[in-house]
Amino acid sequence: MLVIISFFIAHWYLSLFTQTFFHHRYAAHGTFTMSRFWEKFFHVVSFVFQGSSYLSPYAYGVMHRLHHAYADTEKDPHSPKYDKNIFTMMWRTRGIYKAIDEGTAAIDPKFTKGVPKWRAFDRFAENGLVRSLWVVLYIVLYYFYADQWWLYVLIPIHAVMGPFHGVIINWFAHKYGYRNFEVKDTSMNLMPVDVLMLGEGLHNNHHKYGGRAKFSVKWFEFDPVYPIIWFFDKIGIIKIKKKDPLDYMG
Ligand SMILES: [Zn+2]
Ligand SMILES: [Zn+2]
């Protein structure tokens, strides 16, 4: 049981880390820059950590830019205001993601400019067989280490980990929580110390300051990924674009 719980926690956080660090803060918002080498490096690391639910940083980045531009309007790719329930929202988001990923959606170039694109790698990582092999790997691991039957209910979460994290923010952080800023959309901060969603839950702050690398604003808020970003900047892996006065450890 300890092995399985550790594996679940590791998968949860490593997958979420690549999503918030690489897909969200880098690909979509460009809050920091990195060399071609590190870009490819984090692209591959995202595949390893996200596994069967690997998301294309390009498709994610473009779709997410649309979300910020049209948040909570008819043109928003996902909004609890326009989708009846969490499942219809997920299904609509999936369709838009696929259209961007496959290049069939007509997108204004301002939404695609500078978003990292590695089509050949994405084709491989999103291949149905590759995705299935990851799921087989999860099942094999559970087969050997899950000593209680109920642990198997976690396998579907492993399989859809990336979109599972996405939907928590896209639905709940546009519905529940508190607001620091009266922005036009319905974004909320789910919790002041966001250990579960690695800072992504500070969503109202993020909608107000989309270009900031750090998602916490008030003294009582904490974004656990920012110290890592700060460290990567210090040792030269990345370069934070805008260091505003709100950034601690600037
Ligand atoms: Zn949002
Ligand atoms: Zn964003």
Note the pLDDT tens digit of each residue in 170-203.
Answer: 999 999 999 999 999 999 999 999 999 999 999 9
User: How far apart are the C-alpha atoms of 50 and 165, rounded to whole Å?
Assistant: 11
d(CA 102, ligand 1 centre) in Å: 24
For the CA of 169, the nearest ligand? 1
User: How far apart are the C-alpha atoms of 24 and 203, rounded to whole Å?
Assistant: 12
Per-residue pLDDT of 22-43, as tens digits, reads 999 999 999 999 999 999 999 9
pLDDT grade for 245, boundaries at 50, 70 and 90: low
Residue in the structure block whose two tokens are 């099942």: 139
Per-residue pLDDT of 68-91, as tens digits, reads 999 999 999 999 999 999 999 999
- At 79, the amino acid letter reads S
For residue 247, the model assigns a pLDDT of: 58
For the CA of 63, the nearest ligand? 2
For the CA of 30, the nearest ligand? 2
Would you list the DSSP string of 15-28? HHHHIIIIIIIIII
d(CA 84, ligand 1 centre) in Å: 17
Q: Encoding tokens for residue 111?
A: 């939404």
Q: What is the mean pLDDT of residues 92-100?
A: 96
d(CA 147, ligand 1 centre) in Å: 39
User: How far apart are the C-alpha atoms of 132 and 128, rounded to whole Å?
Assistant: 6
For residues 188, 191, 194, 198, the Cα torsion angle rounded to the nearest 10 degrees is: -20
For residue 243, the model assigns a pLDDT of: 75
Q: What is the mean pLDDT of residues 201-230?
A: 95
For the CA of 78, the nearest ligand? 1
Q: Express as a percent the part of the chain with pLDDT over 70.
A: 97
Helix 128-145 × helix 2-18 angle, to 10°: 150
88: Cα separation from own chain's centroid: 20
d(CA 29, ligand 2 centre) in Å: 7
For residue 248, the model assigns a pLDDT of: 53
d(CA 112, ligand 2 centre) in Å: 15
Burial of 31 (0-12, 13-18, 19+ CB in 10 A): buried
Q: What is the pTM of this model?
A: 0.95
pLDDT grade for 242, boundaries at 50, 70 and 90: confident
d(CA 222, ligand 1 centre) in Å: 18
Would you list the DSSP string of 144-156? HH--SGGGGGGHH
d(CA 147, ligand 2 centre) in Å: 40
d(CA 234, ligand 1 centre) in Å: 29
- At 110, the amino acid letter reads K
Q: Express as a percent the part of the chain with pLDDT over 90.
A: 96
d(CA 93, ligand 1 centre) in Å: 13
Residue 250 pLDDT exceeds 60: no
8 Å CB contact between 195 and 224: yes
Residue 233 pLDDT exceeds 60: yes
User: How far apart are the C-alpha atoms of 95 and 3, rounded to whole Å?
Assistant: 36
d(CA 78, ligand 1 centre) in Å: 9
